[in-house]
Amino acid sequence: MPAPAPAAELPRALRDLAAFVGLDEAELAMVRRTAPAVLAKEGEITAALYEHFVNFPASARFFLGADGTPDRARIERRRHSLGRWLRETAEAALTPDFAYYLLSMGIAHSHRTYGPGGVVPAELMIGAMSLTQSALSQLFEATMADPREALAASRAWNKLLLVQLSVLLTSYQLPSRPQSHPHG
């Protein structure tokens, strides 16, 4: 596997990967055009994803309180963060700011040594992206009258999400540094 792109090259690497997978301006426009339907279901999508996470021990451990039950306050905070990512994604802007936003999100998952569960394994990031893709595909199938349009929307979102996943996974290749808890 090649070394991760230096941070200064991340925006170029994002654009290059988008070109490689064939994510073009027409598909980015499709993402923006279907964004209102996705964002109208943001709460349902994020709730379903987190309910799924707490049903599997490998992912539930990140959301359990000291008593071993789901920490609903933590889950709500995480849902808010996931909703923000979904809103940012819906803009379909492959900008330098968005590339660095994705990298910081990846680092938050790949290098967190404190809190419930510790570092989120890369395979759970991949699984979470797959669950998101499936939820969006089901949404488009259910809400779009033309099956070809639903397929085109799914394809556009899938390409965009996999380009993002590449950046998120880049963080797992970065060296770890000693961390202290952010609250002291």
10-residue stretch averages of pLDDT, the chain, 184 residues long: 64 94 98 98 96 94 91 93 95 93 88 75 94 97 97 98 93 72 52
Cα four-point dihedral sign 105, 106, 107, 111: positive
Triad 86, 56, 153: Cα angle to 5° = 30
CA separation for the pair 10, 14 (Å, rounded):
6
Tokens of 158: 């899938």
What pLDDT is recorded for position 1?
45
Look at residue 177 in the predicted model and tell me its pLDDT. 66
Residue 184 lies in a domain: no
How many Å is the Cα radius of gyration of the chain? Answer: 17
Write the DSSP assignment of 134-157 as a string of letters: HHHHHHHHHH-S-HHHHHHHHHHH
Give residue 160's pLDDT. 98
Number of domains in the chain: 1
Residue 108 contacts by C-beta under 8 Å, 6 or more apart in sequence? Answer: none
Q: Is residue 166 part of a domain?
A: yes
8 A C-beta contact, residue 10 and residue 103: yes
pLDDT at 184: 47
Cα(36)–Cα(24) distance, integer angstroms: 20
Note whether residue 17 is domain-resident: yes
Q: Is residue 133 one of the residues assigned to a domain?
A: yes
The pLDDT of residue 172: 85
For residue 179, being part of any structural domain is answered with no
Identify the domain containing residue 161 by its residue range: 7-173
Structure tokens at 24: 């073009």
Q: List the CATH number of the domain containing 164.
A: 1.10.490.10
